[in-house]
Amino acid sequence: MHLRITLFLWLLAAAPLSAQNWDKAANVELQTRLFTQDAAFPRQDDATLHASLSGELDLRWRGNDARASIIGFVRLDSVDDERNLVDFRELYWAKEGDGFEVLVGLNTVFWGVTESVHLVDIINQTDFVSDIDGEDKLGQPMLNVEIQQDWGLLSVYLMPYFRERTFAGLDGRFRPPPELLLDDAQYESGSEQRNVDVALRYSHYFGDVDIGLSYFRGTSREPRFVPADPVSPFAELVPFYDTISQVGVDLQLTRDAWLWKLEAISRDARFGQIFAAVGGLEYTFYQVAESDADVGVLVEYQYDDRNALEPFTLADNDVFVGGRLAMNDIQDTALLAGLSYDTDTGETFYNVEGERRLGDDWFFEMRLRLFTGADPGDTSFFINRDDYLQLQITRFF
Amino acid sequence: MRLTNTLSAVLLATVLVATSVHADNVQKGFDIAARADRTDNGFADSRVDVTMVLRNAAGQETTRSMSFTTLEKANEDVGDKSLVLFNTPRDIEGTALLSHAKILDPDDQWLYLPALKRVKRISSSNKSGPFVGSEFAFEDFTAVELNKYDYNWLREEACGELNCDVVERTPRYENSGYTRQVSWVDQTHFQIRKVEFYDRRDSLLKVLELKDYRQYDNGIWRTHLMTMTNLQTKKQTDLVYSDYEFDVGMDQNDFVKGRLARLR
């Protein structure tokens, strides 16, 4: 952590020295979360209002056949120390050749096509305290070679260092009841965080079908929670990261206003094989009622056959139904609303996301997340009282 | 009886003449459009910075900046490949739209969202929707291929200091928001000077004016100011082009979805 802060400050200081060569951008974001219920567990902070302030600095450089990027961010939280963070989403240098590129450093990579859950996306660790939707990531150290030919894109990743998932601290929301000893994470690999993970991905398109095939061998990004002390299993928990190998496929068929999507993974894990899939469709009505607005309808089914010993998932036998509204106005006003319903347990997760630009430099975002229908023993019971409304304003520079 | 026969013969002759005049006008319209299109062919690839100025009915302005990159396809039965990369507004900086234009089939399009670093294949059936909140529709950008329309020459008339052929063009592709467009093509440099767009009810919706034409060293003409005015909403969008760069040495691999995350 100290190393990262030092590096970040050094970069901040160094940036102006070569200012003329770098594209610079920055933003500052104020986020407020309003929790509607008291927290479930002792020592969680019952404050209704959780506020955080974060900043991001983007520096980009591009030469004839090389490029570099530095995206650093800091976050300060009013309640949970574990949400305080100094980190990088990108910190790399890349060299381009004829039909290939070699990249060294920290980068963020996204794989996949579906909306309600991202199964094949595995390169980056999730910044879970930033957002529980799993879409916020930590930069992954890597050596990455991309080969682009007529037959498609082949990407090879060697990842020499593992990033641990961020989780709420004792004060924070979205945590299991016993204390999580985050500094004592355990690994199946004897090399722990220094295990070298390997990944391969092929992606291309054939007519109106886009396809991605991927393979990963290394430390799972999803931890299990195990008792820190086997003798007193109800005391503290520690994250345990297994060694896995996983193959994934993602497919999208795009025809007229229809998008048909499928992601599936098969994972060799500690307690057997896991198969998981998510598939569905998205249909868009363009310029509804002679306005400029588009309305999209989304339906996805989530399946996961993992057992109770594996890392928990909410997306095991769930139906997701959602709608997307894009106003197509100058402010890019958009709204996404959906629910995921667990057909086994009746747990339901409601999610509303709205956004709108204000002027040229300000951006407003809203999130509403509600959890209902969980009984004691259900997977989402521990976050049952963590319903929240999030209002966020970002100033871009 | 004789009178009827004569009348029939006259009618038949009129129809034949009219048909052949119509056929002549169709051919003439196509020829003028083809000449306008082919005059500016052979640039291989191009890159240009563009400022978009959006103006509402009250005259308030919002601007955004972007760059357009194009890879020319010599074969007129295959469309060009193009890339739009946004610089501002800041919250969408790095967003990119890649299009592989087809002639009559739907185009292939991918959108890159930098916040998630996600490449999304998107439906291209949204031809008539507004492009980033502007008065330009998606099809106004992507449907500039010669063979996407049927043509009909209407007349000849003065357009500013030049003389223009007025050519009507009718979209042949599906999902167009237009029944027809009327274009003014000058007879000196063979450039399009103005286009009128008629909506699905065939009432005049928008007028596009193309100004500030400049000829480059390679002989290619380009407009540097396009103004689209929506006559129904009174809103207006300008596209202000900086200097073009031609033949910068791009190839197919610069216009693939795998490239989108590596543009910056």
Binned at pLDDT 50, 70 and 90, residue A18 comes out as low
* Closest CB from A23, A203, A254 relative to B123: A254
Tokens 């305080």 -> residue: A84
From B93, B121, B259, residue closest to A25, measured CB to CB: B93
Q: Give residue A1's pLDDT.
A: 46
| Least Cα separation, residue B264 to chain A (angstroms) | 7
For the stretch A145-149, contacts whose Cβ atoms lie closer than 8 Å and that sit 24 or more positions apart, written own/partner, are A145/A100, A145/A101, A145/A102, A145/A103, A146/A100, A146/A101, A146/A103, A146/B258, A146/B262, A147/A99, A147/A100, A148/A99, A148/A100, A148/A101, A148/B253, A148/B256, A148/B258, A148/B259, A149/A99, A149/B253
Searching chain B, which residue's CA lies closest to the CA of residue A397? B90
* CA distance to partner chain A, nearest, from residue B141 (Å): 17
**Per-residue pLDDT averaged across A257-269, rounded?**
96
- Is the CB of residue B111 less than 8 Å away from at least one CB of chain A? no
Task: From chain A, pick out residues whose CB is under 8 angstroms from the CB of B259.
Answer: 148
In chain A, the residue whose alpha carbon lies closest to the alpha carbon of B248 is A64
A145-191 pLDDT, tens digit per residue, is 999 999 999 999 999 999 999 999 988 999 888 888 888 999 999 99
- Is A205 within 8 Å of B128 when comparing Cβ atoms? no
Residues 72-91 of A with CB under 8 A from B: none
Is B125's CB within 8 Å of A331's CB?
no
Q: A286 vs B121: CB contact, 8 Å cut-off?
A: no
* Cβ pair A110:B91 closer than 8 A: no
Q: Specify which residues A29 forms β-bridges with.
A: A54, A394
ipTM of the complex: 0.92
- B108, B125, B259 ranked by CB distance to A256: nearest: B125
- Contact assignment for B264 to A67 by CB distance below 8 Å: yes
Kindly list the residues from chain A whose CB atom is less than 8 angstroms away from the CB atom of residue B250: none
For residue A71, what are the contacts with CB-CB under 8 A and spacing of at least 6? A56, A57, A58, A59, A88, A89, A90, A91, A139
* Cβ–Cβ below 8 Å for A357 and B130: no
Q: Which of B117, B129, B258 sits opposite A294 (nearest CB)?
A: B129
Res A24 pLDDT > 70: yes
**Residue B22 — very low, low, confident or very high, per pLDDT cuts 50/70/90?**
confident
Q: What is the pLDDT of residues B200-218, one digit of tens each?
A: 999 999 999 999 999 999 9
**Which whole number is the average pLDDT over A330-349?**
94
The partner residue sitting opposite B258, judged by closest CB among A96, A153, A287, is: A153
3-class DSSP state for residue B34? Answer: helix
- What is the nearest CA distance from B125 to chain A, expressed in angstroms? 5
Answer yes or no: is pLDDT of B241 > 60. yes
C-beta atoms of A330 and B62 within 8 A: yes
Rounded to the nearest integer, the mean pLDDT of chain B is 90
**DSSP annotation of A120:** S
Tell whether A193 is within 8 A of chain B (Cβ): no
Predicted local distance difference test score (pLDDT) of residue A329: 92
Tell me the per-residue pLDDT of B120-132, one tens digit each, with 9 for 90 and over.
Answer: 999 998 889 999 9
Please identify among residues 219-258 of chain A the ones whose CB lies closer than 8 Å to any CB of chain B: 252, 254, 256-258
Using a CB–CB cutoff of 8 Å, tell me whether B117 touches chain A: yes
| Chain A residue closest in CA terms to B255 | A148
User: A38 exposed, middle or buried (CB, 10 Å; 0-12, 13-18, 19+)?
Assistant: exposed
- Calculate mean pLDDT across residues B19-39: 87
Q: Is A146 on the interface with B (CB under 8 A)?
A: yes
pLDDT tens digits, residue range A182-235? 889 999 999 999 999 999 999 999 999 999 999 999 999 999 999 988 787 678
The Cα–Cα gap between A8 and A87 comes to: 8
Pick from A148, A331, A396: which is nearest to B90 by CB? A396
Cα of A131 to nearest chain B Cα, Å: 13
Mutation site, A148, A250, A282, A365, interface B, largest B CB count within 10 A: A148
Residues of B in Cβ contact (< 8 Å) with A361:
89-90
The structure's pTM equals 0.91
Q: Residue A91 and residue A107: Cα distance in Å, rounded?
A: 6
B155-182 pLDDT per residue, tens: 999 998 999 999 999 999 888 999 999 9
Candidate from B56, B117, B126 with C-beta closest to A108: B117
In B, minimum Cα distance to A363 occurs at: B91
- Shortest CA distance from A207: residue in chain B: B108
In this complex, which of A148, A252, A363 lies closest to B256 when CB atoms are compared?
A148
Torsion of CA A284, A371, A53, A184, to 10 degrees: -120
Angle at Cα B198 formed by Cα B197 and Cα B201, nearest 5°? Answer: 160
Where residue A384 falls among pLDDT bands split at 50, 70, 90?
confident
